[in-house]
Structure 1
Amino acid sequence: MLLSYFQEDLLEAGCDEAGRGCLAGPVFAAAVIFPKDYFHPQLNDSKKLSEKKRMELRPIIERDALAYAVTSVSPQEIDAINIHNASYKAMHLALDQLKVAPEFLIIDGNRFIPYKNLPHQCIIKGDGKYLSIAAASILAKTYRDEYMLELSKEFPVYDWASNKGYPTVKHRNAVLEFGMTPHHRKTFTVSRPQLTLF
């Protein structure tokens, strides 16, 4: 069972990102604040849920949260500042947009750039431990998937409708055959020897 809060004294926001390991598309991040006594039995790490279940949970999260926000950082900025910094920036942007100010942050993963001197805790696999991080993972994932689905209509050969920009064999082969689009991250290289690794 996922826990509602890491600590009990301060209003807590959970943060997570989606799309860090992709060849194409922005990185998305979300921040979610739930009431302290909040619980939902189906909330879990987005990677453990079906696409249908994620989409069912998204409006529930948006309805029940005290505040939530979803933001993104472009492939061009990812190339300029690197994917780690872009992920942290996307989280900061999401926190900026919250309509309720958090007092404590819990971050999925093992690293974070401090935000406005707020206390925070990094939690490895936090999306499988805390409701607000799980909810943030679902929002970031579903909004990013929708974005990539729209892009795929313009660039169908890269199969983004299925792979969402992740480096599948079909996606990497398409990059080698057709080249990169403006939506690809130029700092990720694709080569033929790489194809044999997957």
Structure 2
Amino acid sequence: MKNVLLLLVFSFLVLFSMCIIKEEKIGSEEYMKNVLFIIANKNFRDEEFEKPYQILSKVARVTIASSSLQEAIGMFGKRVKPNITIEDVDVNDYDAIIFVGGSGAKEYFDNKVALEIARKANENNKILAAICIAPVILARAGVLEGRNATVWNGEFIDELKKNGAIYTGKDVEIDGNIITANGPQAAEKFGKEIEKALR
């Protein structure tokens, strides 16, 4: 009889603790941040997506957007299946929006939808991040005027300056809600700074 009673008490405690763990898990998921990566459908820079993704997917729900739902292909062959197109992006759904670089990012330089996403994200004080040549998207959206920013070299520096940005030349630059980075060598630090800003 004693053994049966002990078994019942033990079973109850196990079930009770499982319920608490489940409740905590659900609670923490409810409060997870939402992050959007915007990548070019062709020739996004692999590391500039991979490294921040590895960091942020541990602490946030990640959505990947592109100009098409077709599998996106990186400059070095990485394949990524977008979840949504940029046309379906609702800025209000995300805490951070990240434009990934690579030569393919030029497809968004004059893309009205991409520029509007950047503008709305800034207006709503979302974390707005861009790496490599992608800060040009932010510059052309008009959100870097009077702000410190960095970018890949050459003509892209001129693009930032022309649109009123204060070019600093740092690997990673943070100015308020805006985080920019200058290339693949800064990808990990870029990801860590976004993760810090999400806390």
Q: Same fold per TM (> 0.5)?
A: no
Please give the TM-score of this superposition, normalised by the length of structure 1: 0.28
Asked which structure has the greater RCO (Cα within 8 Å, sep 6+), the reply is: 1
* Structure label with greater radius of gyration: 2
Please give the TM-score of this superposition, normalised by the length of structure 2: 0.27
